[in-house]
Amino acid sequence: MAAARVMHAVVVGGGSWGTAFAVLLRDRGHRVTLACRDAEQAAAIAGTGRNPRYARSIDLRGIAASTVADAPAEEADLIVVAVPSRAFRGVVDALPGEAPILSLTKGLDPSTGERLSTLVRGRPVAVLSGPNIAGEIAQGLPAATVIASEDVALTLELQRAVNSAVFRVYVNDDVLGVELCAAAKNVIALAAGGADGLGLGDNAKSGLVTRGLAEMRRLAEAAGARPETFAGLAGLGDLVVTCWSPVGRNRRAGELIARGATAEEAVAEIGQVVEGLTTAPILRDLARRLEIEMPITDGVCAVLEGVSLTDLVSQLMHREPTRE
């Protein structure tokens, strides 16, 4: 692989994933600015070399910090966006300059149901997704990911810029499939967490996750994505880690809800955004428009609307048996 040029990258979003990705870029020799939501967080990072809210043990020395409003976006070679899906449109609309955007956000636009990359206007865009638990990456543990864009030259440049001995990067041009994987796997993870919360066992959970992958594949085919993308890192890879990792936010939220918490109480206990809660009804509506069945997604929405999870499990198990 050809050597990567040194970039000036602005990472917008001082959460756990934005912080971990800023470290990845710094360790690859790039100039990095971590743009935070508020001045207090930015000042703490600049003064102590630590993020006071997320990944507190990770050394951030060598990474500049600023507020989003003061970030040097016009001077950047790359802008990495790692914000919740509900904030994505506002962030990208306000960014000055013409630097390419690399989206780390996994979800759909809550107001329109659109894929997030389609909200980027007037500049190249790529998306990154895969089994990437932020805390592990920040600790330097090995991981793999995929970067997708319709701009082949951009994906190859980003692959060179990010790939390392601990973070292996693959490229893909199926942006539609990668973004739908990233959104759908969080909803399945809520259901997997529900199985954990009810103590249904590994057989039940494995069956649920496997049928969840089948739902994701149906969605891919109906939407025009490539089904094989759902068997790759952005699909199966991310689905597995999201459904089994003890620190997975969506899995944990599903577990807490199964044990009696409301969605709001689960988010409060976790202390971070749980994208599956936002994405589930959007994904259900998309499935209905495409006229495909997504019973697990429907079930997650039903539980969030007040249906008993125990009753839902019974309903799913009593569905008419079919061919796999």
Which positions are annotated as active-site residues? 185
To the nearest 10°, the Cα dihedral for 221, 279, 35, 78? 10
d(CA 90, CA 85): 10
